[in-house]
Amino acid sequence: MPLEILLVLVVGGIVGITVLLHLTGKSRIRALTPESVRSEWLRHAPDDDIIDITIAHDRRSALIRTETGNGLLWSFGADTVARHLLDFDWLEHPEGFEVQFHDFSTPKVIIRLDEFERPHWQHLMDPA
């Protein structure tokens, strides 16, 4: 098979899969609810006992308090990412906070918060 035809087939297949995923709703950003945050956190950290959940107004991120410490859960497309807040820095960002993890697998995330939420999240994220 000529390389040109193979290239067209590969590119067409990738575009087709992308369009199919978008049309079926798999590319939408997941909106978080208290129930989904609880189940997603326990999927990532099944041994944790959740004390409290604080969801951002945009419903894309949540701060979780557990018996072992705080954690952060955020939407990543249709899935979620969860990290314990053990070794991190947070910086002011025009849209909220930028959390920089000292972990190569998750270098940073921007948590979008309005002016009302910022002081509350800052208080919850400050180490005791």
Same domain as 24, residue 39? no
Interatomic CA distance for residues 45 and 83, integer angstroms: 9
Structural domains of the chain, count: 2
- 101-126 residue pLDDT tens: 988 888 899 999 999 999 999 888 87
Residue 117, pLDDT score: 92
* 84 close to 28: Cβ distance less than 8 angstroms: no
Question: Token digits for 56?
Answer: 């951002």
Query: Could you tell me the pLDDT band of residue 27, with boundaries at 50, 70 and 90?
Result: confident
Domain containing 11 equals 1-28
- 3-14 residue pLDDT tens: 999 999 999 999
Interatomic CA distance for residues 106 and 83, integer angstroms: 9
Same domain as 22, residue 53? no
Is 34's pLDDT higher than 80?
yes
The mean pLDDT of 78-105, rounded to a whole number, is 89
Same domain as 89, residue 103? yes
Interatomic CA distance for residues 21 and 116, integer angstroms: 36
Interatomic CA distance for residues 24 and 7, integer angstroms: 26
Same domain as 61, residue 40? yes
- pTM of the predicted model, to two decimals? 0.77
Same domain as 94, residue 49? yes
Same domain as 24, residue 38? no
Question: Token digits for 78?
Answer: 């249709």
